[in-house]
Amino acid sequence: MSTLDVVVPVYNEPPEVVSNTIAVLREALATIPDSRIILVDDGSAPEFRTEELRKLEGVTFVQHEKNRGYGSALKTGILTGTGDWIAIIDADGTYPVEELPRLVERMPGHDMVIGIRTGEIREIPLLRRFPKMVLNMLASYMAGETIRDLNSGMRVFRRELSYYLWDFFPRGFSFTSTITMGAIMGGFRLYEQPINYYKREGKSSIHPIRDTVRFFRLVCRLGLIFYPMKIFGPVAAILGCAGFFKAFFIDYANDGHIGNLAAATMVAAIQVVMMGLIGKLIVHGRFLHSPTAFREGRQVAPPAYVGLRSVPEEQGVQKRRSLSSI
């Protein structure tokens, strides 16, 4: 039977809201043996009285001295635990904590189960709905398959999957987006479980405009990391078509020869294609390690992580080599 670590990141959340989430979570996990709750305070302000959360029964509490970002909090929680499976969920009351066992039930035979926010209740703020839809469409284009919820904060995945993609994880909110696209690129087995999404209790730390722009930048960055031809290809096509049109329909038609600008534009298109092909070669070289390696019984060690200072020594977390070195 696989063991489960549930990582709950907390940043500037009222302790009453967090305590209620933990209480519901503890009740839900009563049906899951060998489960553990890891609460990570990501440097919350003193007025949120985070120290009170240390007293919660049956919870491993880890604290960052200063705010380091959502992704850093999750990475700290992952390194603190030892479970075969890792679940992540927010503490703000937006996700249906009581449905976590449903996601865990789907894990056998999969590498990650994502709780997609397409249930009967979807209280997503209006300012975030359209950008979220466009973001999912852009990510789907980059990934080459439909992504219904790129950055859902409620999911369960194998520990090995997090180690496999460890070096790509950012410090901020884009942890979930990165693991989604990285898992698709790596050929891992994903399952989408519809869940409800409720109105947040308290004030959100997400800025609608700034973070939307940041998410779009993220998808483009992930495209360059995992699917470079999805970026270079259209650029090359635009340059090639523009150069060809100018060369033959303007220059040659009017002057009887191809101009320097048209020639330079077509050469630039070829260069962009070559850059994309080199990027694709690098990507495929990076992912030569098959994701099935750890399914065949190979021991997967946690990565070396410079931020281990945030994890108490008594947790037994040690610096080890990353999966890429195996």
The domain boundary residue, chosen from 214, 243, 261: 214
The domain boundary residue, chosen from 214, 240, 270: 214
| C-alpha 221 chain-centroid distance | 13
Residue 315 lies in a domain: no
Task: Give the residue from 159, 27, 153 showing the smallest Cα distance to 101.
Answer: 27
58 and 201, same structural domain? yes
152 and 18, same structural domain? yes
Question: What pLDDT, on the 0 to 100 scale, is given for residue 202?
Answer: 53
Question: What pLDDT, on the 0 to 100 scale, is given for residue 217?
Answer: 80
112, 155 contact by CB (below 8 A): yes
67 and 171, same structural domain? yes
The domain of 270 spans 229-286
Residue 85 lies in a domain: yes
109 and 255, same structural domain? no
Q: What is the DSSP letter of 156?
A: E
The CA-atom distances, in angstroms, between 253 and each of 142, 242, 248, 256, 257 are 38, 15, 6, 6, 8
Residue 195 lies in a domain: yes
Q: How far apart are CA 252 and CA 270, in angstroms?
A: 21
249 and 201, same structural domain? no
pLDDT under 70 in the chain at which residues? 1, 125-127, 200-209, 211-212, 286-326
Residue 310 lies in a domain: no
Q: How far apart are CA 278 and CA 298, in angstroms?
A: 31
239 and 203, same structural domain? no
Residue type at 178 in one-letter notation = T
190 and 239, same structural domain? no
Q: Can you give the C-alpha Rg of the chain in angstroms?
A: 23
86 and 37, same structural domain? yes
The reported pTM is 0.79
185 and 273, same structural domain? no
Per-residue model confidence as pLDDT tens digits over 30-39 = 989 899 999 9
83, 159 contact by CB (below 8 A): yes
Residue 297 lies in a domain: no
317, 311 contact by CB (below 8 A): yes
Per-residue model confidence as pLDDT tens digits over 52-99 = 898 888 899 999 999 999 999 999 999 999 999 999 999 988 999 999
Question: What pLDDT, on the 0 to 100 scale, is given for residue 127?
Answer: 65
Residue 303 lies in a domain: no
273 and 185, same structural domain? no
The total number of residues written for the chain in this structure: 326
What residues are paired with 191 via a beta bridge? 113
Task: Give the residue from 127, 288, 275, 102 showing the smallest Cα distance to 196.
Answer: 102
CATH number at residue 135: 3.90.550.10
Q: How far apart are CA 233 and CA 14, in angstroms?
A: 48
Give the number of domains in the chain: 2
